[in-house]
Structure formats: structure tokens, C-alpha cells
Amino acid sequence: MDKQLHDSLNEHLLLEFGAAHEYLGLAVWFDLHDLPGFATWMRNQSAEELGHANRIIDHLVERDLDVKLPAIPEPTMSWPSARAVVEEVLAKEQANTASIHRLHQMAQENSDRAASIMLDWFITEQVEEENMVRALLGRLRLAGDTSLGLLLVDQELAKGSVPGAMEAPAE
Ligand SMILES: [Fe+2]
Ligand SMILES: [Fe+2]
């Protein structure tokens, strides 16, 4: 594998582990703010991000390449509102998508077909994840900034009935 691609795949691990860690923190924030539906959703997303990191790790190991695990920063635990939290999740997902697209471009430029195929999965996954978070933000906007609206969306999440929200593909 091309060295720059190898280094970049290792560096990308920080985004996946970072998202897993931050989403776990956000799940705790939601739990502490009496929003168990949001908390469950975030906990599931955290587990998915760990799965993503492991997909890349497995690919490197299967190709007998070194894996460099990142130091993961402590996530912020102070948020002004549920909507601010979900907006943060969307920003994280968009940054992750951009990184995946850069990696895929690099794999193609190096004619690394195995890495390209591995990354194809992530491209599809990111479309689904961004769609899910946007759908959730849409529900929050419709609910307005009221406690009742928030409770309603939380109940939807608890039941998995927000469009796209609980339909993530099996990891
Ligand atoms: Fe991810
Ligand atoms: Fe994600």
C-alpha cells in the first residue's frame, strides 16, 4: 500500500474513535437531561462508530500493515440544547464523509482496488448516516424549541420511528 494512503487510513481512525467517544458522551448528556430516546440513539451510533474503526483496522491487519491507534480527546459535556447536540453530530458526520472521500480518491489514484472496495462501503454508510441526522434535525425544527416537542421526538427515537433514524445497516 502507498505510504501516504496507509498513514491517512491510520489518521482517519481518530475520526471514527473520536465520534464513538463523543457520541457516548452525548448519550450520557441526553440521559442526564431526561431524554432516554436520544440517549439510546446516540449509544447505538457510538457502537457503530467503533465498528467503523474496526473495519479499517481489520483491513490493515489483513494486509499485514501496521495499525496506529490514536489518543482520543476528552469530549465536551456542556451543551446548550438537544438541537445543538444533533447539529454537532451532523458536523462530525460531514467531516467524516469528507475524510472518507479523500481516502477513496487517494486509493483510486494509487490503483489500490482493495482499499477502494473497502472504502466504497463507507461512502454508502455516510450517505445513510447524514440522511438520518438531517431527518432528526428536521423533526427537531418541526417540534420547535418546546419541552413538549422535545418529548415527542424523544418518544419517536425510543420507538425507532424517526425517518432513517434506526435503520442503519447491520455493522
Ligand atoms: Fe463512522
Ligand atoms: Fe457516523
pLDDT grade for 167, boundaries at 50, 70 and 90: low
Which-ligand-closest: CA of 55? 1
pLDDT, mean of residues 78-90: 95
CB neighbour list of residue 171: distance below 8 Å, 6 or more residues apart: 47, 48, 51, 52
Per-residue model confidence as pLDDT tens digits over 155-165: 999 987 765 65
pLDDT (tens digit per residue) in 101-140: 999 999 999 999 999 999 999 999 999 999 999 999 999 9
d(CA 136, CA 117): 30
pLDDT tens figures, 3-28? 999 999 999 999 999 999 999 999 99
Q: Is the pTM of this model over 0.75?
A: yes
Q: Which ligand is nearest to the CA of 131?
A: 2
Per CATH, is 3-159 categorized as 3.40.630.10?
no
Among all bound ligands, the one having the nearest atom to the CA of 17 is 1
84 Cα to the center of ligand 1, angstroms:
20
Give ion ligand 2 contacts, CB < 5 A: 129
Considering the chain, what is the average pLDDT of its residues? Answer: 93
**Residue 36 corresponds to which cell in the numbers above?**
432516554
Backbone angles phi, psi at 62, to 5 degrees: -65, -25
